Structure 1
Amino acid sequence: MKTFSDLGISPKLVKGLTELGIINPTEIQEQAIPVLLEKPTDFVGQAQTGTGKTAAYGLPMLELINASKNHVQALVLCPTRELAMQVSKQLFKFTKYSDKIFSETVYGGAQIDKQIKALQRPTHIIVATPGRLVDLMKKKVVDLTNVKTVVLDEADEMLSMGFKKDLDTILSALPATKNRWLFSATLPEGIRQIINSHLSSNAIKIKVSGKNVVNKKIEHKYILVEDADKLTTLLQYLKFKGKERGIVFCKTKNTTKTLAKQLIAKNISADAIHGDLLQKERDKVMRAFKNESLRILVATDLTARGIDVEDLAFVVHYELPSQDEFYTHRSGRTARAGKEGMSLAIVNSKELKQLRFFEKTLGISFSQIRQK
């Protein structure tokens, strides 16, 4: 099995990775890193969420930064505020033992004046949501003339959130860019248009198969129950887990709201994030969850994108997702930084078919917990 040193990553970055428990590269990291380090290139990496894409582009990007030059040299575009913050946090952790590389995170829903002030400090990397970066460009308060590397992270999500025009604006304003790296779980027509318009015709393309994407340190289990017994089963499981913390996933915001209220009524420290929350309300819930005053977070798939909370022992699928990509993303919220975790599906007899589909497409195996 290859190591990050084998891929060309410098000893100081490897030391930081080792401390995080990241020892062996994932498939997308193993394939992408040597290509991105070899020479300036345009690149398309197709891989599901949860496969380690941040390190796949982040490590080569960090290797290419000249820390002695205090101007913006790299740009990472993300669909959500949470993912942008998570990327910045990971880049910071990677560089614990290397030269000081400074990044700033800019996103909508926060005071732009504070972000403008922050960008006046030495900055090597900007991690941004497209809309806020365009706002900063219009105000002429961000200098992108020396950007040599631009990364589109979760490009399909940015497209589905209506950022195509902003992406075109940003990419058209980066004539000096030598590296344009696009990472996406899927390649719909809109993404292909961006590739054709803004990446060179000889861009290197790598696709990682779905069966290799799930973290091997996650244990997958299920409990078979009738719909009417799902809440009771969840309560029993949470009681069994003691004080351990986790996320419970639902498909709809209405179920998310209802379930959170039901858990609170049973004296469980829980709250929900869903699409109806204002950003400040969502921030309040996430702060409480991260500082451990909340034990359980109830979430929908979209609102959970970019959540990076350490030491989550489990995730529960109260309702199964419709896509294998969502299952990968959900289960990947546990077993972070080399630790082990549990992914539990509470399913009815009709949902068993979906479980078998996930087993086949993701190359995983579910074991049944039989209720006493």
Structure 2
Amino acid sequence: MSFDELNLIDPILRALHEEGYTNPTPIQEQAIPHVLDGRDLLGVAQTGTGKTAAFTVPILQVLHQTALVERHAPGRIRCLILTPTRELAIQIGESFASYGRHLKLRHTVIFGGVGQAPQVNALKRGVDIIIATPGRLLDLMNQGFIDLRHLEVFVLDEADRMLDMGFIHDIKRLLPKLPASRQTLFFSATMPGQIQDLADTILKPNPVKVAVTPVSSTAEKVTQAVYMVEKENKAALLEHVLSDKNIRRVLVFTRTKHGADKVVKTLAKANIPSEAIHGNKSQNHRQRALHNFKAGDTRVLVATDIAARGIDVEELTHVINYEIPNEPETYVHRIGRTGRAGADGIALSFCEDEERAYLQDIQKLIRRQIPVVNQHPFASDNVAPVPLSGGPAIKRPKGPAGRPPRPGREGRPQGRSGERPAGHGQRSGGGSSRPAGSSSGGRAATAGSSQGGGQRRRSRGGNGGANR
């Protein structure tokens, strides 16, 4: 199927073709017709499936066509997209700008951590679409700058991350301020009980349900390898792996903000330039670091899971799990940043003894044994490989390393540097938006090196849909 078969209007089709997109992804193919029909929709899809275009494209068409037959007061807010992070909000804003370039609809992006004056000015000039993070949205509503009584479409994106970051109460405060007649689109990568309950509350009865790409299947598209290493040797191992120049653009994941900063300092001592993004970094720093990484000026970007949510970078050759996540689904989300749209991708993980239980859970989820790289200078006899099955469950670590993060911890940075749930002393602020392995060892490492050097640019012709 092509976009031409989805009953899209010519201005949007032209924009999609100008972006190089001709064929929709599965979620776009399934979701767009239902959104155009005005149905409420529950979408279960993770980053990299083309989820953003699955709602931005039909929303643009619905708002454009409605404006042609109905009179709307200037500046009436017609659509709200609520998202957990500033980076994702900005990227969604860029999608509206790209796909709506031939339409006369106006949008703005609002988030905390920066001065609110540019956002307020954009609201006063009048916008049709707001893309927002929860804390700043409620802040500006309380100040009287935003009125959602005439809202036509409400999108809740990445609901599971909203729960992780402690924004669920803000969402529940927002709901009574929305008209019951609205169309609602609800997206989440996973559907734990609390998220299903929220969906049942927000959506009209019998919404359309669209689910694509089971979380475990994404890992099949990426070449994976694991290094068994003692904790104190991880930094040296990272330097060793990054000495391979075929690793041209790599995203390194840590579990904590402190850990990300520590990795950057360690790499700096080894003359390997890198930057970190996480909740304690200022918005300007995060945007600059992400821009430098996308432009290829920075080779290594170190990130926490929440800060990296929504990052879509072309030609990302490698993902390195400096620390194994304690939730197996998070591992799949991490490695899904690479190997997109038919390109090669390499995912390397550094596993210390106390992380073996996490690795075991990951292998159960993806139903495969991750190859172990034995030939490297820091291979440890004290860290045994993790079997896929057939052995006893590995004892889970005690203490902070084995304790799941409390909801909202990474998502509630201190001071002015990040978006926080309303009611927690957030200061006002804003801005509008416009639009592997080591060469030294083992089969997995050799594959990583050779494939990293042959990374292809993401196909944007007939091979895939709009990936934003």
TM norm structure 2: 0.68
Match of 1:60 in 2: 58
For residue 321 of structure 1, report the CA deviation from its aligned partner.
2.4
Match of 1:160 in 2: 164
Rate the CA distance shift 1:345–1:92 in 2: closer, same or farther, 3 A. Answer: same
1:306 aligned to which of 310, 318, 322: 310
- Matching residue's letter, 1:322: N
For residue 282 of structure 1, report the CA deviation from its aligned partner.
3.9
Q: Is the 8 A contact 2:339 2:346 kept in 1?
A: no
Q: Is the 8 A contact 2:153 2:183 kept in 1?
A: yes
SS in 2 for 1:247: strand
**Matches for 1:205-224 after TM superposition, within 5 Å:** 205-208=209-212, 210-211=214-215, 214=218, 219-224=222-227
Rate the CA distance shift 1:175–1:211 in 2: closer, same or farther, 3 A. Answer: closer
Q: Matches of 1:191 and 1:275 in 2, distance apart?
A: 23
| 1:101 partnered with 2:100 | no
Match of 1:184 in 2: 188
| 1:115 partnered with 2:119 | yes
Q: Is the 8 A contact 1:84 1:128 kept in 2?
A: yes
- Matching residue's letter, 2:209: K
Q: How many residues align?
A: 367
SS in 2 for 1:328: helix
For residue 219 of structure 1, report the CA deviation from its aligned partner.
3.5
1:50 aligned to which of 48, 51, 65: 48
Q: Matches of 1:93 and 1:241 in 2, distance apart?
A: 34
Match of 1:325 in 2: 329
| 1:134 partnered with 2:138 | yes
| 1:28 partnered with 2:27 | yes
- Give per-residue Cα distances to partners, 1:6-33, cap 9 Å, x unaligned: 3433454344334445444333323222
- Matching residue's letter, 2:225: Y
2:38 aligned to which of 37, 40, 43: 40
Gapped runs of 5+ residues in structure 2? 376-439, 442-468
Q: Matches of 2:364 and 2:21 in 1, distance apart?
A: 27
Q: Is the 8 A contact 1:317 1:346 kept in 2?
A: yes
Match of 1:146 in 2: 150
- Give per-residue Cα distances to partners, 1:125-164, cap 9 Å, x unaligned: 1101122111222222223333211100011222332323
Q: Matches of 1:133 and 1:47 in 2, distance apart?
A: 25
Q: Matches of 1:102 and 1:191 in 2, distance apart?
A: 31
**Matches for 1:236-251 after TM superposition, within 5 Å:** 236-241=240-245, 244-251=248-255
Match of 1:174 in 2: 178
Q: Matches of 1:364 and 1:65 in 2, distance apart?
A: 46
Q: Matches of 2:34 and 2:325 in 1, distance apart?
A: 34
Rate the CA distance shift 1:27–1:352 in 2: closer, same or farther, 3 A. Answer: farther
Rate the CA distance shift 1:148–1:29 in 2: closer, same or farther, 3 A. Answer: same
Match of 1:234 in 2: 238
Rate the CA distance shift 1:357–1:20 in 2: closer, same or farther, 3 A. Answer: farther
- Give per-residue Cα distances to partners, 1:30-75, cap 9 Å, x unaligned: 32222222x2222222223333221222222122122666543211
Q: Is the 8 A contact 1:149 1:177 kept in 2?
A: no
Q: Matches of 1:203 and 1:269 in 2, distance apart?
A: 48
For residue 189 of structure 1, report the CA deviation from its aligned partner.
4.2
SS in 2 for 1:222: strand
| 1:9 partnered with 2:4 | no
For residue 288 of structure 1, report the CA deviation from its aligned partner.
4.4
1:90 aligned to which of 88, 91, 95: 95
Q: Is the 8 A contact 1:49 1:325 kept in 2?
A: no
- Matching residue's letter, 1:17: L
Q: Matches of 1:323 and 1:65 in 2, distance apart?
A: 39
Once the two structures are overlaid, the 10-residue window that deviates more, 203-212 or 153-162, is: 203-212
- Matching residue's letter, 1:346: S
Once the two structures are overlaid, the 10-residue window that deviates more, 243-252 or 148-157, is: 243-252
Which structure would you say has the larger Rg? 2
Once the two structures are overlaid, the 10-residue window that deviates more, 349-358 or 323-332, is: 349-358
TM norm structure 1: 0.84
- Matching residue's letter, 1:328: V
Match of 2:80 in 1: 75
- Matching residue's letter, 1:147: L
Higher relative contact order (CA 8 A, sep 6+): 2
Q: Matches of 1:85 and 1:213 in 2, distance apart?
A: 28
Q: Matches of 1:184 and 1:269 in 2, distance apart?
A: 34
Q: Matches of 1:303 and 1:43 in 2, distance apart?
A: 27
Provide the identity percentage: 37
1:343 aligned to which of 343, 346, 352: 346
- Matching residue's letter, 1:27: P
Rate the CA distance shift 1:320–1:88 in 2: closer, same or farther, 3 A. Answer: same
For residue 215 of structure 1, report the CA deviation from its aligned partner.
8.5
Q: Is the 8 A contact 1:16 1:93 kept in 2?
A: yes
Q: Matches of 1:359 and 1:9 in 2, distance apart?
A: 42
